[in-house]
Chains A and B, each alone.
Chain A
């Protein structure tokens, strides 16, 4: 584990783990949260690391001078993470996402198929059969980065991002797949669309998916998609 400053009000905890790094990260996130370290205001996972955000003023109030603020937070994080106590962290949920692969939605399906030397149908079959896991949520609010994409489907991002990708677009970027919660620019290859709302600011948590979730795709027809939207 390596802890480095991210500016003066945050730090990054890098976990070093050969495999299952997501579970190691999630376990550490949970332990840091439970420890209620004075001054820590937010903890968020990202792939193989954790962002810990703190208020230096509160850390100083807890007894640290300017020279000791970072060390005090870092030390308490080390202690929290190394605790062997059984954590009662929430178990990973399985979330089913309906996806329509209709050609009107699948803006880049032919490109992905060509790149993989497969037919469009084979691409869709492979994509919908796999089980994915949410590595983290970011880029835009509610955007899930999913691992577990079949290797054959890995497709490089567009050199020039599209100016506009429709909300709900399911896309492939390199070895990952993801879903755009909002209409936004983006460089990933769009192969389908979900009618689900991935981000709702009136809900808590606002994002439909969270890091660690398992995700399966339920393929739907265009009619089902339209019915869902109503």
Chain B
């Protein structure tokens, strides 16, 4: 069964956890910019973590369902409704055939990840259902969704079917993810960073600017990266660097001295110096940066980045186990 997009909004794409193994061919991992949000939303609707859902940018989105589905979402501070009923972030709800879900514009943040039980069943291309907008493949015909598109769903899992039956009387389930997990958006976000491989190409003044001043997110930002504007990050040496690998979270500094935080759809290699990297657990916040936001960076050591990541993963596994014990 499927659903029809009544309004596609500014930019809505089909995303899963992205594709690995094709960087050699210049293919970036892509996938949901906040993989954690999609994994949590997937678990809440009885899916496996890697199932494909929707990435909705700045709202304006409306979808009509053709059959009964569980839905859940995570991401920015969006106003999501089923008819007149609000669907809070990190909650699980049952949508009936013919019902619409509306994702309105966010008060804070930029993106939301919307999971539907059964997952979105588009063909797997290079190991993933994620839409690669640059190369135009994956997702639905390699493009962003449009009004009146039809998106096909897979079969509800046994778990999802059991929850659907129990939700018929309740509608919005009492089970939810903790707010912190489901909604990482902040009005004045702070992103934690570790030093990059070209940290020493910059002088102490640049280090101070990066770790103490605020940067404004430029309108020229997209799934490839968030471009920032602020005091110039001056390089201490002007030697030309040979292009090297970059990754989501890498902060590179072009000659303008205005940093770019790379996101999931970033190129695989880059020649600009890499002053720092946003740590993996804070990529959820980076994915919420929207033009006009003012962001700050806080330096941590690599060990701390790893500790935070392992801690979050432990919490996630705990949550997963808890859900599986739910009747």
Interface of A with B (CB < 8 Å)? 4-10, 12, 14, 41-42, 44-51, 53, 56-57, 60, 66-67, 69-70, 136-143, 145, 181-182, 184, 199, 201-202, 204-207, 210-211
- Bound-complex Cα distance A73 to B285 (A): 27
| B303 CB–A CB distance under 8 Å | yes
Residues in chain B near residue A199, CB distance under 8 A: 25-26, 135
B310 close to A56 (CB less than 8 A): yes
A49 close to B244 (CB less than 8 A): yes
- Which chain A residue shows the least CB distance to B314? A57
- Which chain A residue shows the least CB distance to B300? A8
A9 close to B245 (CB less than 8 A): no
Residues in chain A near residue B243, CB distance under 8 A: 46-47, 136, 138, 145
The 3 closest A-B pairs by CB, nearest first: A51-B245, A7-B277, A207-B25
Interface string of B48-88 (1 = CB under 8 A from A): 00000000000000000000000000000000000000000
A10 close to B245 (CB less than 8 A): yes
Smallest beta-carbon distance B317→chain A, Å: 10
Interface of B with A (CB < 8 Å)? 20-28, 125-126, 132, 134-138, 142, 194-197, 242-247, 249-250, 267-269, 274, 277-280, 302-307, 309-310, 313
A12 close to B245 (CB less than 8 A): yes
B309 close to A5 (CB less than 8 A): no
A5 close to B310 (CB less than 8 A): no
Smallest beta-carbon distance B9→chain A, Å: 25
Please judge, given known A-B contacts A66-B307, A138-B269, A141-B135, whether A8 and B280 are in contact too, CB under 8 Å: yes
B245 close to A44 (CB less than 8 A): yes
Residues in chain A near residue B269, CB distance under 8 A: 46-47, 51, 136, 138-139
A210 close to B25 (CB less than 8 A): yes
- Bound-complex Cα distance A88 to B249 (A): 35
- Bound-complex Cα distance A44 to B245 (A): 8
Q: Quick one: which of B197, B304, B313 contacts A5, CB cutoff 8 A?
A: B197
Residues in chain B near residue A7, CB distance under 8 A: 194, 196, 247, 249-250, 277-280, 305
A49 close to B309 (CB less than 8 A): no
- Bound-complex Cα distance A140 to B25 (A): 9
Please judge, given known A-B contacts A66-B307, A70-B302, A140-B135, whether A205 and B244 are in contact too, CB under 8 Å: no
Smallest beta-carbon distance B290→chain A, Å: 22
A6 close to B197 (CB less than 8 A): yes
A139 close to B303 (CB less than 8 A): no
Smallest beta-carbon distance A34→chain B, Å: 15
Please judge, given known A-B contacts A48-B242, A138-B26, A206-B25, whether A9 and B310 are in contact too, CB under 8 Å: no
- Bound-complex Cα distance A45 to B90 (A): 40
B242 close to A49 (CB less than 8 A): yes
Residues in chain B near residue A142, CB distance under 8 A: 25-26, 135
- Bound-complex Cα distance A48 to B243 (A): 8
- Bound-complex Cα distance A48 to B306 (A): 27
Residues in chain A near residue B244, CB distance under 8 A: 12, 14, 46-47, 49, 51
Smallest beta-carbon distance B315→chain A, Å: 12
- Bound-complex Cα distance A138 to B247 (A): 13
A44 close to B136 (CB less than 8 A): no
- Bound-complex Cα distance A204 to B124 (A): 13
What are 24 sample pairs from A and B whose C-beta atoms fall under 8 A apart?
A: A4-B197, A5-B195, A5-B277, A7-B247, A7-B279, A8-B194, A8-B305, A46-B268, A47-B242, A47-B244, A49-B242, A51-B268, A51-B269, A66-B303, A66-B310, A70-B302, A143-B26, A145-B243, A199-B135, A201-B126, A206-B27, A207-B27, A210-B25, A211-B24
Smallest beta-carbon distance A10→chain B, Å: 5
- Which chain B residue shows the least CB distance to A70? B302
Residues in chain A near residue B196, CB distance under 8 A: 6-7
Residues in chain A near residue B195, CB distance under 8 A: 5
A6 close to B135 (CB less than 8 A): no
Residues in chain A near residue B137, CB distance under 8 A: 201
Other than the given A47-B243, A66-B306, A138-B268, 12 more pairs (CB < 8 A) read A7-B194, A47-B269, A49-B244, A49-B245, A56-B306, A140-B26, A141-B134, A142-B25, A201-B125, A201-B137, A204-B126, A207-B27
Q: Quick one: which of A5, A6, A60, A205 contacts B24, CB cutoff 8 A?
A: A205
- Bound-complex Cα distance A12 to B24 (A): 14
A46 close to B280 (CB less than 8 A): no
- Bound-complex Cα distance A34 to B250 (A): 27
